[in-house]
Amino acid sequence: MKLPRDLSGRDLVKLLGTYGYEVTRQTGSHIRVTTHEGGKHNLTIPSHKSLRVGTLAAILNEVAQHFGTDRHEIATRLFD
């Protein structure tokens, strides 16, 4: 699956809500989200107008690793 090119950091935070991630704090232009599903996991997401594809891929890889699945499955669930 091709990753979206125009996804903002705020939009990604909203989408990650399906995995139980909630905003815990924001410092400057970075948002910290945390989930307690499958154990505690923190992510830092840049609050940019559009995320670079490599940054988005790295974030999805971290989510996939935490939930024991692959990035394709995470992307399919979030973006379809």
Q: What is the pLDDT of residue 2?
A: 85
Residue 35: other Cβ atoms inside 10 A: 20
Q: Using an 8 Å Cβ cutoff, are 70 and 64 in contact?
A: yes
Residues lower than pLDDT 70 in the chain: none
Q: Which homologous superfamily does the CATH classification assign to the domain defined by 9-79?
A: Hypothetical protein. (3.30.920.30)
Q: What is the pLDDT of residue 80?
A: 85
Q: What is the pLDDT of residue 76?
A: 93
Residue tagged 């974030």 (tokens)? 59
Q: What is the pLDDT of residue 10?
A: 94
Question: Could you state, in order of their start, the residue ranges of all structural domains in the chain?
Answer: 9-79
Q: What is the pLDDT of residue 38?
A: 86
Q: What is the pLDDT of residue 21?
A: 95
Closest CA to 67 of 44, 50, 43, 51: 43
Q: What is the pLDDT of residue 51?
A: 93
Q: What is the pLDDT of residue 1?
A: 76
